[in-house]
Amino acid sequence: MGPDDTSDDGDTGDTGDTGENPFAEAVEQGLADHVGTVEPSEVIVDGDTTHYRFDPADGPMCLRGGDYWMSVREGAAADSGDLLIYLQGGGACWSALCSAFESLGAPAVPESGMLNRGLAVNGFSDWNAVYVPYCDGSLFVGDVDIDDDDDGTIDRYHRGLINLSAALDVAVARYPDPQRVVLAGSSAGSYGTLVADMLVRTLWPEAELIVISDSGLGIGKPGDFEFIPGLLDEWDALRLVPASCQDCVTDHITGLPRWQLSRDPRLRFAAISSYDDAIIGGVFLGLGKGEYEQAFTTELAISAAAYPDRFHRFFFPGTLHTTISTDSVNGGGLQGITANYDTTVVQGTSVAQWLEMLILGDPGFGDRID
């Protein structure tokens, strides 16, 4: 079945209630190879937040070899059954362009955006939260070390897959049976969710799964059918794309979520973007005026038409990049570059309100397209 071979309601997955993993094919191709292989080397308890540090000798590390850590923050009701997994953004690094977070600071969960528990409107304020920082430049999928200048010394440690796996190992040990999991990612983290969701489903097979993709919607360079496959191949991640999905990786990778939706009826997507994102469309993809808007609106219209009840869109005018990581109260963003979770509004609804409506099942929830 191709990614668009669906019935009108989009519920054509051949798994879901059978107890089988809808993404077993990706697991067989190596997606879960690092699951259960690493233990934290240090655990730091700080009130309701616990930080887990990993020894680079065990595998997890940042782009230049530095330590990797992740954090868990207890919600107001630790046994609530709701779990938020947040993948941080921070650029990307490959042979032609390297502009990414290369190391991590002191362990902390940022109190901003959807992680800000003090916002007047934030449906996730009392959820258990897993914070997965980003520092290896491979969109959480890399599994390769690269010596760029052939001098015998590694220059780039793309350990995204083992970093993600180590973080999810901690998460599943702490929260083995959530009723609902929201996997949210911003920018690089948003691109990361497009593969990470298959690993999340593998580890939490019974949970409702909602993916929030903020400013990283699977768009590549229109008409360039070598760019995305080349990136994934450089990071040794092309093998993670299910072989049966022949249209998953083209000039975009938007076919992968459609393939996932066709197989997992308990999966939903919420996609958020400005129309002319200057960071994704300009800095990383090098697209001309209007090209990014044309690409993502066309591609995501296909997804929404195929799965109208499970693929949702929030699009707003302008060039700003990301919304869910920053807010107007605690900041956390860059003036003139990032938008805010609580003040980015389309049709009278902010991103924060829209996502709260999503998780509450509000009858007024639906696409917000300006």
Q: Closest Cα partner for 177 from 211, 209, 210, 206? A: 206
Could you tell me if residue 16 is inside a domain?
no
* Apex 312 CA angle, 370 and 285, nearest 5: 70
> What single-letter DSSP state applies at residue 276?
T
Structural domains in the chain (count):
1
What pLDDT sits at residue 18? 55
| β strands within 81-140, DSSP E | 82-87, 91-94, 97-100, 128-132
Could you tell me if residue 13 is inside a domain?
no
Could you tell me if residue 14 is inside a domain?
no
> What's the CA gap between 2 and 202, in Å, rounded?
22
Q: Looking at the whole model, is its pTM more than 0.75?
A: yes
> What's the CA gap between 215 and 322, in Å, rounded?
5
> What's the CA gap between 284 and 89, in Å, rounded?
13
> What's the CA gap between 344 and 321, in Å, rounded?
11
Could you tell me if residue 309 is inside a domain?
yes
Query: CB–CB of 351/324 below 8 Å?
Result: yes
Q: Which two tokens stand for residue 129?
A: 């939260």
CATH code assigned at 133: 3.40.50.1820
DSSP 60-91: ---TTS--EEEEEE--SSTTSSEEEEEE---E
Could you tell me if residue 207 is inside a domain?
yes
The residue written with tokens 């450089």 in the block is 234
Query: CB–CB of 185/216 below 8 Å?
Result: yes
> What's the CA gap between 92 and 101, in Å, rounded?
8
Query: CB–CB of 269/312 below 8 Å?
Result: yes
HSE (CB half, 13 Å, CA atoms) of 220?
20
pLDDT in tens, the chain (370 residues): 233 333 334 433 344 445 799 999 999 999 999 999 999 999 999 999 999 999 999 999 999 999 999 999 999 876 789 999 999 999 999 999 999 999 999 999 999 999 999 999 999 999 999 999 999 999 999 999 999 999 999 999 999 999 999 999 999 999 999 999 999 999 999 999 999 999 999 999 999 999 999 999 999 999 999 999 999 999 999 999 999 999 999 999 999 999 999 999 999 999 999 999 999 999 999 999 999 999 999 999 999 999 999 999 999 999 999 999 999 999 877 788 999 999 999 999 999 999 999 999 999 999 999 8
Angle, in degrees to the nearest 10, between helices 255-263 and 188-203: 20
Which residues span the domain enclosing 276? Answer: 24-363
Q: Closest Cα partner for 128 from 76, 190, 53, 203? A: 76
Could you tell me if residue 368 is inside a domain?
no
Could you tell me if residue 10 is inside a domain?
no
Could you tell me if residue 15 is inside a domain?
no
